């Protein structure tokens, strides 16, 4: 049987073929580790060593905050719950909320101390009160990492202070950020809070995107000698949200510049395009021996892609079915597929269904078709 291929004019956009790994040639970053993720779909738009374990520094605190959010959602604690401050928490170095030993602090204030002020001491307070000890909290962190699909993460502390075995990947940080936005929206505004005061000390949010990139509303920076300078960021433009992770930059200023550049390009160079929706009619198939010459073809899938614009501009689509398609055809039968190809990627196929019943022609109609075939003179090339 002959295989018929029909072009869907609506979808065909001709463009020169790109290299197989289009993203590598179309986008670059100076960061040692990087990822851009589309929030809606969770698709990775760009990655550079994103699946490798790295030192996450204070970006670790996203995991600590996420566990607090889960405890709140499960009703195990409330924002008004008071946590006791130990001497160990008070003595914790690095960036601080400046907790005071032998006092209590509400969960609401501790979350601001962790997220806005990046308080290492606040993380210890949370860990000891939720886990019974820092070690108990680490058991929760590592168990939740596996449960949430963070396969390159291992935690040795709740705040990201240097430890050779304390690791996360950029990909893990991206899926964790997506989970926080999806599952705990009631707490998400904390990540864009500009400042917070505790112990009469006001500290500003360290995220450079909040002041310099329109639409930015999260998430967390990190820096140690081992990790370099990094940031997890998220922003919206129109109906689209991007999640970005970069790490391993050489300075505060380099992080600020690269965070803004990568986030801007995540919108400028990548796009989400809706091509077809369920019940759209994408074309028709010719019918042989039917009471109608053709039948409409309906798709039942949502056909939407979020990719680099040059890849989207190279999309081609074809309707493919076995010909001749012989009557009878029943409405709802799958009789064709829509094959979509794009540069450097595996073809995707979507089933197409008949929009109507097409009955077989009667006996006399078949006789007429047979006579017409007999009376048709041969073509020159057939002689």
CA dist 168 and 154 (Å) reads 6
Residue 12 to residue 311: CA distance in whole angstroms: 13
The C-alpha atoms of residue 301 and residue 174 are separated, in whole angstroms, by: 27
Catalytic residue selected from 48, 61, 220, 307: 61
Give Cβ neighbours of residue 63 (< 8 Å, ≥ 6 apart): 141, 144, 145, 153, 155, 158, 168, 176
324 secondary structure, DSSP code? S
Among this protein's residues, is 58 annotated catalytic?
yes
Query: Which residue among the candidates 95, 118, 153, 266 is catalytic per the annotation?
Result: 118
Query: Could you give the CA distance from residue 218 to residue 232 in angstroms, rounded to a whole number?
Result: 8
To the query of whether residue 277 is one of the catalytic residues in this protein, the response is: no
61 tagged catalytic: yes
Residue 222 in contact with residue 95, Cβ under 8 Å?
no
- Annotated catalytic residue within 58, 86, 169, 266: 58
Q: Where are the alpha helices (DSSP H) in 163-307?
A: 170-183, 209-212, 252-268
Is residue 109 within 8 Å of residue 78, measured between CB atoms? no
Residues 6+ apart with CB under 8 A from 216: 192, 207, 209, 210, 233, 234, 235, 263
Could you give the residue numbers annotated as active site?
Answer: 58, 61, 118
């Amino acid at each position: 049987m002959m295989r018929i291929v029909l072009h869907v004019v609506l979808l065909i956009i001709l463009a020169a073929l790109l290299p197989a790994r289009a993203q590598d040639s179309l986008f670059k970053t100076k960061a040692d580790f990087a990822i851009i993720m589309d929030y809606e779909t969770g698709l990775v738009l760009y990655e550079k060593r994103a699946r490798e374990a790295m030192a996450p520094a204070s970006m670790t605190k996203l995991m600590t905050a996420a566990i607090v959010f889960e405890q709140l959602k499960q009703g195990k604690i409330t924002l008004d719950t008071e946590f006791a401050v130990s001497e160990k928490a008070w003595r914790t170095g690095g960036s601080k909320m400046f907790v005071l030993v032998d006092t209590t602090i509400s969960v609401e204030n501790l979350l601001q101390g962790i997220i806005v002020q990046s308080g290492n001491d606040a993380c210890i307070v949370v860990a000891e009160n939720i886990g019974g000890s820092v070690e108990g909290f680490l058991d929760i962190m590592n168990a939740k990492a596996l449960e949430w699909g963070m396969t390159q993460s291992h935690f040795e502390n709740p705040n990201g202070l240097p430890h050779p075995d304390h690791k996360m990947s950029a990909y893990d940080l991206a899926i964790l950020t997506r989970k926080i936005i999806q599952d705990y929206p009631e707490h998400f505004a904390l990540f864009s809070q500009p400042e917070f005061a505790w112990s009469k000390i006001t500290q500003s949010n360290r995220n450079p995107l909040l002041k310099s990139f329109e639409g930015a509303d999260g998430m967390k920076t990190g820096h140690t000698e081992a990790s370099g300078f990094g940031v997890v960021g998220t922003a919206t433009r129109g109906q689209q949200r991007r999640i970005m992770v970069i790490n391993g930059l050489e300075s505060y200023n380099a992080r600020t510049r690269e965070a803004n550049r990568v986030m801007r390009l995540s919108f400028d160079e990548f796009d989400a395009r809706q091509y077809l929706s369920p019940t759209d009619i994408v074309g028709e198939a010719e019918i042989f021996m039917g009471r109608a010459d053709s039948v409409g073809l309906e798709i039942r899938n949502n056909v939407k892609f979020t990719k680099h614009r040059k890849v989207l501009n190279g999309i081609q689509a074809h309707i493919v079915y076995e010909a001749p398609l012989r009557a009878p055809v029943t409405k709802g039968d799958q009789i064709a597929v829509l094959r979509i190809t794009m540069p450097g990627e595996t073809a995707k196929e979507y089933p197409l269904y008949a929009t109507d019943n097409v009955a077989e022609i009667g006996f006399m109609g078949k006789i007429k078709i047979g006579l017409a075939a007999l009376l048709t003179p041969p073509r020159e090339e057939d002689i």
